Amino acid sequence: MAIHWNKNLKLGHEAIDLQHMEIFSQINNLSDKITEGADDIEIRDLVNYLNIYAKKHFFDEEKLMVQYNYYGIHKQKKEHLQFKNEVDEISQMLRKRVPAMDIALRMETTLLQYFMHHVIEVDREMADYINFQNKQNSP
């Protein structure tokens, strides 16, 4: 079950939107590769890339929140930690050689759905706040 980027996911902050697009793409790619039976090294490399990329993305988002003194930063950090923990759990499943279809299902029901909710609900709230602050501070 791939979820593709669409205009409803766009927040209006170019750098963050591009990062979200990449994360969606990598989650979908990883799910596809697992389902197709790609070798362990390729899967592990994709999980590692997703983990590193997500950490950079969360760092960038949190830096933006600090810059705008965003009131929801603690909620965001908590959600970011949940995502990192889920990626770690998928890494554990790979190490334990859990069947590929079980991992793909976990990714679709947990990781992809979580990230979709995060962008649509939590990040949308942050983006609306930042956009409001920018409008208030513009001449």
What whole-number distance in Å separates Cα of residue 111 and Cα of residue 83? 7
Instruction: Write the CATH number for 133.
Output: 1.20.120.50
Asked whether residue 66 is domain-assigned, the answer is: yes
Convert the pLDDT of each residue in 78-107 to its tens digit: 999 988 888 888 888 888 888 877 877 777
Pair of tokens at residue 82: 């949940």
In-domain check, residue 2: no
Give pLDDT, residue 1: 57
pLDDT in tens, 37-47: 888 788 878 88
Question: Would you say residue 68 lies in a domain?
Answer: yes
Q: Which domain holds residue 80?
A: 16-137
What does the alpha-carbon distance between residue 138 and residue 59 come to, in Å, rounded to a whole number?
A: 26
pLDDT at 69: 94
Q: Are the C-beta atoms of residues 28 and 2 closer than 8 Å to each other?
A: yes
55 assigned to some structural domain: yes
In a domain, 59, yes or no: yes
Asked whether the beta carbons of 8 and 127 are under 8 A apart, the reply is no
Q: How many domains, the chain? A: 1
